[in-house]
């Protein structure tokens, strides 16, 4: 059972890491070249796809959290030594460093942006809206990206050692 759980957690957490990397190095730098209105509209459109419960995204994102927690629980009974410690560490780091900031920081920023009527905003309001969104969102996305990549590396090491 631990083999299937570990493989699933590794796959899903790695997919989340890839998603976050794509945002960090391609998507956000790409839309950063747009003016304030264009940037805000583009991000709202991208986020709307996710918020409309895109099923594959939901399976990957929520599945990664469930799979890594299940793997940590199973590791208590089915793994020993360093492998057990690495899996439990990966689960804690992933939950606290990826899932928690997503729920407490990035999603609230996304929701705040979704609630803004960009069409009715002045240039200065657009500039302020972008600044108050983009700076913290990017900071926390880079943190989540690093931690998701670290989690994937830890889980891959455990897989290779089994």
Farthest-apart Cα atoms in the chain, separation: 60
User: Does the structure show a pLDDT above 90 at 103?
Assistant: yes
H-helix or E-strand containing 53? none
What global pTM score does this model have?
A: 0.93
Contacts of 28 (CB under 8 A, 6+ apart): 138, 141
| Domain assignment of residue 23, given as a range | 2-161
Q: For position 20, what pLDDT does the model report?
A: 98
What average pLDDT does the chain have? 96
Two structure tokens written together for 162: 């089994």
The dihedral built from the CA positions of residue 102, 104, 71 and 80, taken in this order, carries a sign that is positive
The C-alpha atoms of residue 45 and residue 51 are separated, in whole angstroms, by 10
pLDDT at 145 (0 to 100): 98
Give the mean model confidence (pLDDT) for residues 9-14: 98
Mean pLDDT, residues 97-104 taken together:
98
CA torsion angle 95 51 46 130 (round to 10): -80
DSSP SS3 for 34: coil
Rounded CA separation 55/114 (Å): 20
pLDDT at residue 138 greater than cutoff 90: yes
Kindly give, in sequence order, each residue whose CB lies less than 8 Å from that of residue 17, ignoring residues fewer than 6 positions away. 145, 148, 149, 151, 152
Beta strand spans in the chain (E): none
Contacts with 96 (C-beta within 8 Å, 6 or more apart), sequence order: none
Number of domains composing the chain: 1
Evaluate whether 5 touches 70 at the Cβ level (below 8 Å): yes
Neighbour count for residue 10 (Cβ, 10 Å): 23
Percent of the chain, pLDDT > 70? 100
Flag whether pLDDT at 51 surpasses 90.
no
């Amino acid at each position: 059972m631990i083999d299937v759980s570990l493989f699933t957690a590794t796959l899903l957490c790695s997919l989340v890491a890839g998603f976050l990397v794509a945002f960090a190095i391609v998507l956000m730098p790409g839309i950063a070249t747009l003016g304030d209105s264009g940037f805000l509209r583009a991000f709202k459109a991208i986020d709307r796809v996710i918020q409309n419960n895109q099923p594959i995204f939901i399976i990957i994102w929520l599945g990664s959290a469930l799979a890594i927690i299940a793997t940590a629980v199973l590791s208590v009974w089915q793994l020993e030594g360093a492998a057990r410690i690495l899996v439990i560490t990966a689960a804690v780091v992933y939950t606290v460093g990826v899932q928690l900031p997503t729920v407490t920081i990035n999603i609230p920023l996304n929701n705040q942006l979704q609630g803004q009527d960009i069409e009715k905003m002045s240039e200065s309001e657009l500039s302020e809206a972008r600044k108050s969104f983009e700076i913290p969102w990017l900071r926390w996305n880079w943190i989540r990206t690093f931690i998701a990549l670290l989690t994937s590396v830890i889980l891959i090491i455990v897989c290779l050692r089994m």
